[in-house]
């Protein structure tokens, strides 16, 4: 499955999925075959959002492809991806060095130090941190980064961000330094790094799907049953998100209780709904 997660400014989480079907399966069942990148592009094009919505699309290297980037451009969306290892700078044939060639100049680059705390900043609500992870005592993540606007072959004019969490690197390698590229050339160095840090929320969410809802615990012969299982898990998430919104907006609850619902992720939401249903049954 190609899985996506839409996170709104208020922190609402809406999971989406497109099944990955083999070419053989598609031929046998009259289905359209899509690569992972093509499925992601379709997901971008069909997001249930207003035309004027401001959207930032984040993904790992698998989605740093022309088809996804073109879909974002068509919709007017910003995108931030780690650079494909084979990406090269624009230039005449034979004079197109790879983006990672800039790592050779690491010690001569004008690096800036960026400190980010997950509990602060404009994207804090997207993370749903527990109250134990909020406050000045939480250690900041420190990045050493550099940015430049360049033309990249088959992509166009982009903002490149080179960042690492390793101080005083004398010899930078692709394992040490993350190379990000984005079509939002107006963003600051801090904004790009802070935006991309939200991608970890996608990883956490699908880990929670597996641990809390048994998302990966299926074994079926018929793939249609697998699709139904995945849809059931996603429907459950949507129901839990609905319950969260209802309780956040319930003015009969204390401010402390509404804040509690605001912070809850899948595990906490499941526990709260089970408890609520159990209480209603006792009544």
Identify which of 146, 187, 175 has the alpha carbon closest to the alpha carbon of residue 163.
Answer: 146
Q: What is the pLDDT of residue 141?
A: 87
Q: What is the pLDDT of residue 44?
A: 94
CA distance 150 to 105: 16
Q: pTM here?
A: 0.86
pLDDT band at 70 (very low <50, low <70, confident <90, very high): very high
Report the percent of the chain where pLDDT is more than 90.
Answer: 39
Q: Between the CA of residue 40 and those of 5, 20, 148, 234, 235, what are the distances in Å?
A: 11, 11, 27, 17, 20
pLDDT band at 83 (very low <50, low <70, confident <90, very high): very high
Give the residue extent of every domain in the chain.
2-206, 207-282
In degrees, to the nearest 5, what angle opens at C-alpha 71 toward C-alphas 67 and 77?
Answer: 135
pLDDT band at 181 (very low <50, low <70, confident <90, very high): very high
CA distance 8 to 92: 42
Q: Is the pLDDT of residue 1 over 90?
A: no
Average pLDDT of the chain to the nearest whole number: 87
- Note the pLDDT tens digit of each residue in 9-30: 878 899 998 888 888 888 888 8
DSSP β-ladder status, 56-58 and 141-152: unpaired
Number of neighbouring beta carbons within 10 Å of residue 113: 9
pLDDT band at 274 (very low <50, low <70, confident <90, very high): confident
Q: What is the pLDDT of residue 146?
A: 94
Structure tokens at 71: 């879909």
């Amino acid at each position: 499955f190609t899985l996506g997660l839409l996170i709104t400014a208020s922190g609402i989480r809406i999971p989406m999925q497109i099944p990955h079907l083999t070419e053989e399966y598609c031929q046998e069942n009259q289905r359209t075959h899509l690569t992972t990148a093509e499925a992601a592009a379709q997901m971008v094009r069909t997001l249930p959002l207003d035309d004027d919505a401001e959207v930032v699309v984040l993904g790992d290297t698998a989605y740093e492809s022309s088809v996804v980037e073109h879909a974002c451009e068509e919709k007017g969306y910003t995108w931030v991806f780690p650079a494909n290892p084979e990406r090269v700078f624009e230039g005449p044939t034979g004079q197109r060095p790879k983006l990672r060639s800039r790592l050779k100049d690491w010690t001569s680059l004008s690096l800036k130090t960026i400190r980010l705390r997950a509990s602060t900043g404009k994207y804090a609500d997207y993370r749903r941190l527990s109250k134990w992870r909020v406050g000045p005592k939480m250690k900041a993540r420190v990045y050493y980064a550099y940015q430049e606007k360049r033309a990249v072959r088959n992509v166009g004019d982009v903002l490149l961000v080179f960042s690492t969490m390793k101080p005083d690197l004398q010899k930078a390698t692709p394992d040490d330094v993350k190379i990000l590229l984005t079509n939002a050339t107006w963003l600051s160095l801090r904004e790009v790094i802070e935006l991309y840090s939200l991608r970890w929320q996608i990883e956490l969410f699908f880990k929670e799907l597996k641990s809390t809802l048994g998302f990966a615990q299926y074994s079926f012969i018929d793939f249609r049953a697998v699709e139904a299982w995945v849809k059931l898990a996603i429907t459950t998430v949507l129901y839990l998100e609905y319950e969260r919104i209802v309780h956040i907006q319930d003015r009969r609850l204390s401010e402390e209780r509404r804040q509690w619902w605001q912070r809850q992720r899948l595990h906490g939401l499941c526990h709260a709904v089970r408890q609520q249903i159990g209480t209603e049954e006792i009544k």
